[in-house]
Structure 1
Amino acid sequence: MSRTRRRHAALLRELPLPVPFDVHALCDQVAARRGRPIRLLPMSGLTGVCGLWIATDHTDLIFHESETTPPHREHIILHELAHVLCDHYPASLDPAEQAAMLLPGLDPAMVRRVLGRAGYSSAEEREAELLASLIRQRATPGRTVTGRLRNALDDDFA
């Protein structure tokens, strides 16, 4: 677990968060840093998943359930973005098989890798879920006990 914590700490240090926090702006910043666009695509009725990351040769596509609450939708996007940041790959199926299974109308030759929640190892799933939660926590430090303490200390030493 300490290796995961160190990895997350490094990712969070390098990740500039927009102020005020906006998940779309964060995706734009990550896209600019990676040199490839990230498109957020709402969909209703995703089968068996709440979110899905598809990396084509030139674009990262993050599909997310549209028929849910805004906080849940944001968390889904952050979770999929965490998979992008951690550069996760599915272990069980090759990209063409995953594309055919999850998006049968999509040309598999176009897709370089596909990640849906069902395709991750449990370790990758936990890592993405934790990183998504840490990003959100860091974006609103005043809402956590640690954030309130940090803000209070900053005020006392300012």
Structure 2
Amino acid sequence: MSRLARRHAALLRDLPLPVPFDVHALCEQVAARRGRPIRLLPMSGLTGVCGLWIATDHTDLIFHESETTPPHREHIILHELAHVLCDHHPAAGQALLPGLDPAMVRRVLGRAGYSSAEEREAELLASLIRQRATADHTLTGRLRTALDGNGCG
């Protein structure tokens, strides 16, 4: 198993997914585990990016494109959350948001602000989280059906 696959397996193993899956509930769980809030902030017209992670001294801010479909919006949030989970660092944070006080912002990540390897890792982890959530939901549904069918419900 590759180093990246082992890293993702460990991250997924330690990541409790809400059932039924809800990306907002997942963000709350990750925030509680990290001991710092995660705020999801919809924005329209994010220039050149679909999502953006800004880590201040006390809060993680995840901006996401609001003018898109719900599944795409969820994937954008999962992608930015994957950057948080992987503890990625920006390549050029101040260039993305020049008006922000650099003393307030610890990290800024947007599609233009991290390496290709980090982009691929976040994209893969976001997809794996969604895949696991779908599998968990399917398994839960099958268990309910089996229990209901046997008069155990």
Q: TM-score, normalised by structure 1?
A: 0.83
Verify the 8 A CA contact 1:137 1:144 in the aligned structure 2: no
Summarize deviations over 1:4-60 as a string: whole Å, max 9, x none.
000000000000000000000000000000000000000000011000000000000
What's the CA shift for 1:63? Answer: 0.3
Name the CA shift for 1:112/1:20 in 2 (closer, same or farther; >3 Å). same
Give the share of equivalent positions with the same residue, in percent: 92
* Stretches of structure 1 lacking an aligned partner (at least 5 in a row): none
* Cα pair distance change 1:13/1:51, threshold 3 Å: same
Structure 1 residue matching 2:49: 3-state secondary structure? coil
Partners of 1:141 and 1:148 within 8 A in 2: no
Could you say if the C-alpha distance between residues 24 and 121 of structure 1 is closer, same or farther in structure 2, counting changes exceeding 3 Å?
A: same
1:90 deviates by: 2.0
Say if 2:31 is the partner of 1:28: no
8 A contact 1:142–1:151 mirrored in 2: no
Question: Separation in 2 of the partners of 1:84 and 1:63?
Answer: 13
Q: TM-score, normalised by structure 2?
A: 0.85
Q: 1:89 to 1:152 in 2, by over 3 A?
A: farther
| Offset of residue 107 of structure 1 | 2.0
**Equivalent residue, structure 1, for 2:101:** 107
**What is the alpha-carbon root mean square deviation over aligned residues?**
3.2
Q: Partner of 2:112: helix, strand, or coil?
A: helix
Structure 2: where are the runs of 5+ without partners?
none
Residue matched to 1:45: 45
